[in-house]
Homo-oligomer: A and B are copies of this chain.
Amino acid sequence: MALVVIGGVAAGLSAAARARRIDPRLEIVVLEKGPAISYGACGLPYFVEGRVRQASQLVVYTPEYFRKERKIDVRTGARVVAISHPRREVKLESGARVAYGKLVIATGARCDTSGIQGAGQPHVFTLHTLDDGERMRAFLRERRPKRAVVIGGGYIGVEAADALRRNGVGVTLLERSQHLLLRDDAVFSAAVRKQLEAHGVEVRCGVAANSIEADRVGDVDCDMVVVAAGFRPNVELAAEAGIEIGRTGAIRTDERMETNLLGVYAAGDCAEATHLVTGRPTYIPLGATANKGGRVAGANAAGGRERFAGIVGTSIAGIFGTGFATTGFSVAQARAEGFSPVAARIEAYARPRYFPGAKTTVELVADRNSRRLIGGSVIGEEGAAGRIGVIATALGSRMRVDEFEQLDLAYSPPFSPVWDPLLIAAQQLLKEM
């Protein structure tokens, strides 16, 4: 019986490709509702910006490639409208039915604009699919908007603001909460805000945008709107089929990515993952997680026996050339999770003083009781991705601050100072504990 995968982007195609590796003879069908598969959605802001010239560059593999090279039956425009697990079949919008032996649900997420009046207007965009990107790029080229409002200060919103600004568009960014880049950390959010403002983006936090007019959002005049808020996992299909939805609102799975229905797996932006710092399910939809979870789901659906241990919630955004990276929990988030957090934040040169180079800001958060590192953030023009990777690795291995402080990191003047900013932050944190 076939392995059917619902969804043909990150998690779905990772699952299908991995299943093929595990079982060269398995019949594998991928059902993608949209016209394109296997695109790098995280690259959309750079296509809007113009740095990526063609939307097609974001497509990693075509359906033809999968059919010919991997013997995977990829069908686009194939929207699944129901799963009948007792019958082991899915029903398509066209009325067709596809039988499955094993099922991987990789339905992703959507940008839910239903709470915003006027979101259907032609000057209003989301930035979730290849189509969204192409529409926005065409609008920029043809209509030459002068002022845009971006609703939502998460990753997509901030990256969209950057991309629009670089196209000469005036941008006002509205964020409902006080947090930017989804970090409940006033100092980090203030740094994001400062960087945006330094490059001409007006930032307003604590502003809910419930309605979009033809020429304004609230009191902000604009001729273009990007909605980058209301991210919701697509769980309706699964829920109707009796699949358990977790408290986060996303599909619950075990560490083999199997749902409560035997032989039905879920991965990617529609599914939870285990947070390695708490050991509890969490919902942090990101591309790298989708690929890892999909890979494990596909392996197990094809008869393998793999596990996806979980995530620590690492992410990074480039804002006008500076990396803003976070992992694990901020102090406020840690407290909400029941930890007794203690933190240190330092600013240090990212290279020796005799070498030109910008400063880097590092925050480390630890739990006072266990002395374990439970979160951190790094802001820097250089090295932010690498340094947050080091913190993420320490989080994943449940490292204590005492060990972290003595990490044997690479030192050489062109790359770092003899006391890496990470170690200076750890020294400071030990003083606070």
Contact = CB atoms under 8 A, between A and B. Distances in A.
Interface stretch (A94-102, A112-120, A219-227, A286-294): A286-294
Interface string A381-417: 0011111111011111101000100111111111110
Contacts of A420: 288, 389
A394 B393 contact: yes
Interface string A162-203: 000000000000000000000000000000000000000000
Copies of this protein chain in the complex: 2
A389 B406 contact: no
B410 A43 contact: no
B314 A408 contact: yes
A60 interface: yes
Contacts of A406: 292, 308-310
Interface in A277-297: 286-289, 291-292
A355 interface: yes
A316 interface: yes
A389 B392 contact: no
Given A354-B46, A410-B388, A415 B316 contact: yes
A355 to B, nearest CB: 7
A422 B389 CA distance: 11
A423 B291 CA distance: 12
A410 B326 CA distance: 8
Nearest to A275: B408
Interface of A: 10, 40, 42-43, 46, 51-52, 57-58, 60, 155, 276, 286-289, 291-292, 308-318, 323, 325, 327, 352-355, 383-390, 392-397, 399, 403, 406-416, 418-420, 422
